[in-house]
Amino acid sequence: MAQRPDIIVVTDLAKSFGDNRVLRDVDLTIKEGEVVAIIGPSGAGKSTFLRCLNKLEDVTSGHVVVNGHDLTSKETDLDAVRQDIGMVFQHFNLFPHMSVLENVMLAPVELRRGPKDEIRRQAMALLARVGLEEKADARPAQLSGGQKQRVAIARALAMKPEIMLFDEATSALDPEMVGEVLEVIRTLADQGMTMVLVTHEMGFAREVADRVVFMADGVIKEQGSPEEIFDRPQDPRTQDFLSKVL
Protein backbone atom coordinates (compact mmCIF):
# COMPACT_ATOMS: atom_id res chain seq x y z
CA MET A 1 0.00 0.00 0.00
CA ALA A 2 3.03 2.26 0.44
CA GLN A 3 3.21 3.16 -3.27
CA ARG A 4 -0.37 4.44 -3.43
CA PRO A 5 -0.95 8.20 -3.38
CA ASP A 6 -2.21 9.98 -0.28
CA ILE A 7 -5.88 10.91 -0.65
CA ILE A 8 -6.57 12.45 2.78
CA VAL A 9 -3.88 14.39 4.63
CA VAL A 10 -4.82 15.89 7.99
CA THR A 11 -2.17 17.93 9.77
CA ASP A 12 -2.26 19.47 13.21
CA LEU A 13 -6.04 19.62 13.18
CA ALA A 14 -7.82 21.31 16.08
CA LYS A 15 -11.52 21.90 16.51
CA SER A 16 -13.27 23.75 19.32
CA PHE A 17 -16.92 24.46 20.01
CA GLY A 18 -16.66 27.62 22.10
CA ASP A 19 -14.38 26.72 25.02
CA ASN A 20 -14.75 23.01 24.38
CA ARG A 21 -11.61 21.71 22.66
CA VAL A 22 -13.03 18.68 20.91
CA LEU A 23 -10.06 17.79 18.67
CA ARG A 24 -6.39 18.69 18.94
CA ASP A 25 -3.04 17.66 17.44
CA VAL A 26 -4.73 15.32 14.99
CA ASP A 27 -2.39 14.11 12.22
CA LEU A 28 -3.61 11.39 9.90
CA THR A 29 -2.70 10.45 6.34
CA ILE A 30 -4.87 8.01 4.40
CA LYS A 31 -3.84 6.41 1.13
CA GLU A 32 -6.04 5.70 -1.86
CA GLY A 33 -7.88 2.43 -1.34
CA GLU A 34 -7.09 2.30 2.36
CA VAL A 35 -9.77 1.33 4.89
CA VAL A 36 -9.32 3.07 8.23
CA ALA A 37 -11.48 2.25 11.23
CA ILE A 38 -11.80 4.84 13.99
CA ILE A 39 -12.74 3.48 17.39
CA GLY A 40 -12.98 5.06 20.80
CA PRO A 41 -15.36 6.02 23.59
CA SER A 42 -18.40 8.23 23.15
CA GLY A 43 -17.45 11.91 23.15
CA ALA A 44 -13.93 11.22 21.86
CA GLY A 45 -14.48 13.47 18.83
CA LYS A 46 -14.86 10.71 16.22
CA SER A 47 -17.95 12.17 14.54
CA THR A 48 -16.52 15.67 14.64
CA PHE A 49 -13.37 14.39 12.97
CA LEU A 50 -15.35 12.74 10.15
CA ARG A 51 -17.36 15.92 9.69
CA CYS A 52 -14.13 17.92 9.34
CA LEU A 53 -13.16 15.67 6.41
CA ASN A 54 -15.99 16.95 4.24
CA LYS A 55 -16.33 20.35 5.86
CA LEU A 56 -19.61 19.74 7.55
CA GLU A 57 -17.60 21.41 10.33
CA ASP A 58 -15.15 24.29 9.95
CA VAL A 59 -11.82 23.42 11.48
CA THR A 60 -10.43 25.77 14.13
CA SER A 61 -6.80 25.32 13.01
CA GLY A 62 -4.66 22.96 11.00
CA HIS A 63 -5.15 21.57 7.52
CA VAL A 64 -7.38 19.01 5.89
CA VAL A 65 -6.37 18.15 2.33
CA VAL A 66 -8.69 15.82 0.44
CA ASN A 67 -7.81 14.64 -3.06
CA GLY A 68 -5.40 17.57 -3.34
CA HIS A 69 -7.92 20.20 -2.22
CA ASP A 70 -7.17 22.08 0.99
CA LEU A 71 -10.55 22.38 2.71
CA THR A 72 -9.20 25.19 4.88
CA SER A 73 -8.38 27.35 1.86
CA LYS A 74 -10.98 29.91 0.80
CA GLU A 75 -10.29 29.21 -2.88
CA THR A 76 -11.35 25.58 -2.65
CA ASP A 77 -14.61 24.69 -4.37
CA LEU A 78 -16.35 22.89 -1.53
CA ASP A 79 -19.17 21.52 -3.63
CA ALA A 80 -16.64 19.80 -5.87
CA VAL A 81 -14.79 18.38 -2.86
CA ARG A 82 -17.98 17.15 -1.24
CA GLN A 83 -18.89 15.31 -4.42
CA ASP A 84 -15.71 13.27 -3.99
CA ILE A 85 -16.87 12.15 -0.56
CA GLY A 86 -19.94 10.11 0.28
CA MET A 87 -21.14 9.97 3.85
CA VAL A 88 -23.42 7.49 5.61
CA PHE A 89 -24.78 8.27 9.05
CA GLN A 90 -26.34 6.32 11.88
CA HIS A 91 -29.77 7.62 10.81
CA PHE A 92 -30.52 7.21 7.16
CA ASN A 93 -32.38 10.47 6.41
CA LEU A 94 -34.10 9.12 3.31
CA PHE A 95 -36.87 11.28 1.87
CA PRO A 96 -40.10 9.55 2.94
CA HIS A 97 -42.25 10.91 0.09
CA MET A 98 -39.93 9.55 -2.60
CA SER A 99 -39.43 6.00 -3.78
CA VAL A 100 -36.20 4.19 -3.07
CA LEU A 101 -35.11 4.72 -6.69
CA GLU A 102 -35.94 8.44 -6.55
CA ASN A 103 -33.91 8.80 -3.35
CA VAL A 104 -30.89 7.30 -5.08
CA MET A 105 -31.37 9.40 -8.24
CA LEU A 106 -31.99 12.70 -6.48
CA ALA A 107 -28.48 14.15 -6.13
CA PRO A 108 -27.18 13.20 -9.60
CA VAL A 109 -30.38 14.54 -11.19
CA GLU A 110 -30.23 17.82 -9.27
CA LEU A 111 -26.56 18.25 -10.12
CA ARG A 112 -27.25 17.35 -13.76
CA ARG A 113 -24.82 14.48 -13.82
CA GLY A 114 -26.18 13.21 -17.12
CA PRO A 115 -29.38 12.23 -18.94
CA LYS A 116 -32.12 11.06 -16.59
CA ASP A 117 -32.38 7.65 -18.27
CA GLU A 118 -28.69 7.06 -17.70
CA ILE A 119 -28.93 8.21 -14.07
CA ARG A 120 -31.89 5.84 -13.58
CA ARG A 121 -29.93 2.97 -15.11
CA GLN A 122 -26.97 3.65 -12.82
CA ALA A 123 -29.25 3.99 -9.78
CA MET A 124 -30.81 0.59 -10.56
CA ALA A 125 -27.32 -0.89 -10.88
CA LEU A 126 -26.45 0.55 -7.45
CA LEU A 127 -29.63 -0.89 -5.94
CA ALA A 128 -28.63 -4.25 -7.39
CA ARG A 129 -25.20 -3.82 -5.83
CA VAL A 130 -26.74 -3.41 -2.37
CA GLY A 131 -29.24 -6.21 -3.05
CA LEU A 132 -32.37 -4.04 -3.29
CA GLU A 133 -33.30 -3.98 -6.97
CA GLU A 134 -36.77 -5.30 -6.20
CA LYS A 135 -37.40 -2.43 -3.74
CA ALA A 136 -36.86 0.33 -6.30
CA ASP A 137 -40.48 1.46 -6.23
CA ALA A 138 -41.02 1.03 -2.49
CA ARG A 139 -41.19 3.95 -0.07
CA PRO A 140 -38.60 4.08 2.73
CA ALA A 141 -41.36 3.40 5.31
CA GLN A 142 -41.88 -0.03 3.72
CA LEU A 143 -38.26 -1.05 4.33
CA SER A 144 -36.50 -2.53 7.33
CA GLY A 145 -33.73 -0.55 9.02
CA GLY A 146 -31.05 -2.62 7.32
CA GLN A 147 -32.66 -2.09 3.93
CA LYS A 148 -32.93 1.67 4.55
CA GLN A 149 -29.27 1.85 5.41
CA ARG A 150 -28.38 -0.06 2.24
CA VAL A 151 -30.41 2.49 0.25
CA ALA A 152 -28.51 5.27 2.04
CA ILE A 153 -25.25 3.65 0.94
CA ALA A 154 -26.51 3.39 -2.68
CA ARG A 155 -27.56 7.04 -2.51
CA ALA A 156 -24.07 8.07 -1.38
CA LEU A 157 -22.48 5.94 -4.13
CA ALA A 158 -24.68 7.59 -6.77
CA MET A 159 -22.38 10.61 -6.78
CA LYS A 160 -19.46 8.28 -7.62
CA PRO A 161 -17.41 9.37 -4.64
CA GLU A 162 -13.74 8.47 -4.30
CA ILE A 163 -14.01 8.31 -0.53
CA MET A 164 -16.77 6.97 1.71
CA LEU A 165 -17.20 8.01 5.34
CA PHE A 166 -19.35 5.89 7.65
CA ASP A 167 -20.37 7.22 11.06
CA GLU A 168 -21.66 4.30 13.12
CA ALA A 169 -23.69 3.11 10.16
CA THR A 170 -24.94 0.04 12.03
CA SER A 171 -25.48 1.48 15.54
CA ALA A 172 -29.18 2.21 15.11
CA LEU A 173 -29.99 -1.19 13.61
CA ASP A 174 -31.53 -4.21 15.22
CA PRO A 175 -28.82 -6.83 15.68
CA GLU A 176 -30.15 -9.14 12.99
CA MET A 177 -29.76 -6.39 10.38
CA VAL A 178 -26.21 -5.40 11.16
CA GLY A 179 -24.69 -8.18 9.06
CA GLU A 180 -26.36 -7.23 5.78
CA VAL A 181 -25.08 -3.65 6.04
CA LEU A 182 -21.57 -4.73 7.03
CA GLU A 183 -21.61 -7.07 4.04
CA VAL A 184 -22.19 -4.12 1.69
CA ILE A 185 -19.38 -2.16 3.35
CA ARG A 186 -17.09 -5.19 3.12
CA THR A 187 -17.79 -5.45 -0.63
CA LEU A 188 -16.87 -1.79 -1.09
CA ALA A 189 -13.62 -2.41 0.76
CA ASP A 190 -12.86 -5.38 -1.49
CA GLN A 191 -13.51 -3.20 -4.54
CA GLY A 192 -10.84 -0.75 -3.42
CA MET A 193 -12.95 2.14 -2.12
CA THR A 194 -11.11 4.46 0.26
CA MET A 195 -13.11 4.40 3.47
CA VAL A 196 -13.08 5.86 6.95
CA LEU A 197 -15.36 3.96 9.29
CA VAL A 198 -16.31 5.08 12.77
CA THR A 199 -17.59 1.87 14.25
CA HIS A 200 -18.40 -0.03 17.41
CA GLU A 201 -18.19 -3.32 15.54
CA MET A 202 -14.75 -4.39 16.70
CA GLY A 203 -14.83 -7.75 14.93
CA PHE A 204 -15.68 -6.01 11.68
CA ALA A 205 -12.97 -3.37 12.18
CA ARG A 206 -10.43 -6.11 12.73
CA GLU A 207 -11.52 -7.92 9.60
CA VAL A 208 -11.88 -5.10 7.03
CA ALA A 209 -9.64 -2.29 8.24
CA ASP A 210 -6.09 -1.87 7.00
CA ARG A 211 -5.49 0.41 9.94
CA VAL A 212 -7.25 1.07 13.24
CA VAL A 213 -7.14 4.47 14.91
CA PHE A 214 -8.03 4.79 18.58
CA MET A 215 -9.31 8.23 19.63
CA ALA A 216 -10.04 9.49 23.12
CA ASP A 217 -10.38 12.99 24.56
CA GLY A 218 -10.02 14.61 21.15
CA VAL A 219 -6.66 13.09 20.24
CA ILE A 220 -5.41 10.05 18.39
CA LYS A 221 -4.00 8.01 21.24
CA GLU A 222 -2.76 5.14 19.16
CA GLN A 223 -2.98 3.68 15.67
CA GLY A 224 -1.73 0.60 13.91
CA SER A 225 -2.72 -2.58 12.17
CA PRO A 226 -5.78 -4.39 13.57
CA GLU A 227 -3.42 -6.92 15.18
CA GLU A 228 -1.38 -4.18 16.83
CA ILE A 229 -4.40 -2.36 18.23
CA PHE A 230 -6.59 -5.33 19.21
CA ASP A 231 -3.92 -7.82 20.28
CA ARG A 232 -1.12 -5.61 21.58
CA PRO A 233 -2.53 -2.18 22.51
CA GLN A 234 0.17 0.02 24.02
CA ASP A 235 -1.75 2.99 25.40
CA PRO A 236 -3.53 2.45 28.75
CA ARG A 237 -6.64 4.20 27.38
CA THR A 238 -6.77 1.79 24.46
CA GLN A 239 -6.30 -1.16 26.79
CA ASP A 240 -9.05 0.10 29.09
CA PHE A 241 -11.46 0.78 26.22
CA LEU A 242 -10.89 -2.61 24.61
CA SER A 243 -11.28 -4.42 27.93
CA LYS A 244 -14.79 -2.95 28.11
CA VAL A 245 -15.92 -3.58 24.54
CA LEU A 246 -14.26 -6.83 23.49
- Amino acid (one-letter) located at 108: P
| Binding window for ligand ADP (CB under 6 A); candidates: 40-48, 123-131, 149-157, 181-189 | 40-48
Q: CB of residue 181 vs ligand ADP: minimum separation in angstroms? A: 19
Residue of 43, 68, 115, 236 interacting with ligand ADP (CB under 6 A): 43
Q: CB of residue 215 vs ligand ADP: minimum separation in angstroms? A: 7
15 close to 23: Cβ distance less than 8 angstroms: yes
CB atoms within 10 A of CB 207: 13
Q: Is 58 in the site for ligand ADP (CB under 6 A)?
A: no
- Closer to Mg ion by Cβ: residue 24 or 113: 24
| Binding window for ligand ADP (CB under 6 A); candidates: 17-25, 100-108, 136-144, 224-232 | 17-25
Inter-axis angle of helices 116-129 and 100-110, nearest 10: 130
Number of residues that bind ligand ADP (CB under 6 A): 11
| Binding window for ligand ADP (CB under 6 A); candidates: 2-10, 44-52, 135-143, 179-187 | 44-52
Q: CB of residue 45 vs Mg ion: minimum separation in angstroms? A: 8
* DSSP string for the chain: -TTSPEEEEEEEEEEEETTEEEEEEEEEEEETT-EEEEE--TTSSHHHHHHHHTTSS--SEEEEEETTEETTSTTS-HHHHHHTEEEE-SS----TTS-HHHHHHHHHHHTT-S-HHHHHHHHHHHHHHTT-GGGTTS-GGGS-HHHHHHHHHHHHHTT--SEEEEESTTTTS-HHHHHHHHHHHHHHHHTT-EEEEE-S-HHHHHHH-SEEEEEETTEEEEEE-HHHHHHS--SHHHHHHHHHH-
- Closer to Mg ion by Cβ: residue 36 or 119: 36
Q: CB of residue 49 vs ligand ADP: minimum separation in angstroms? A: 7
Q: Is 55 in the site for ligand ADP (CB under 6 A)?
A: no
Q: CB of residue 88 vs ligand ADP: minimum separation in angstroms? A: 14
Residue of 26, 36, 47, 54 interacting with Mg ion (CB under 5 A): 47
Q: Is 48 in the site for Mg ion (CB under 5 A)?
A: no
Q: CB of residue 21 vs ligand ADP: minimum separation in angstroms? A: 9
Kindly list the residues in this chain that would bind ligand ADP in the complex (CB under 6 A).
17, 20, 22, 40, 42-48
Residues at the interface with Mg ion (CB under 5 A): 47
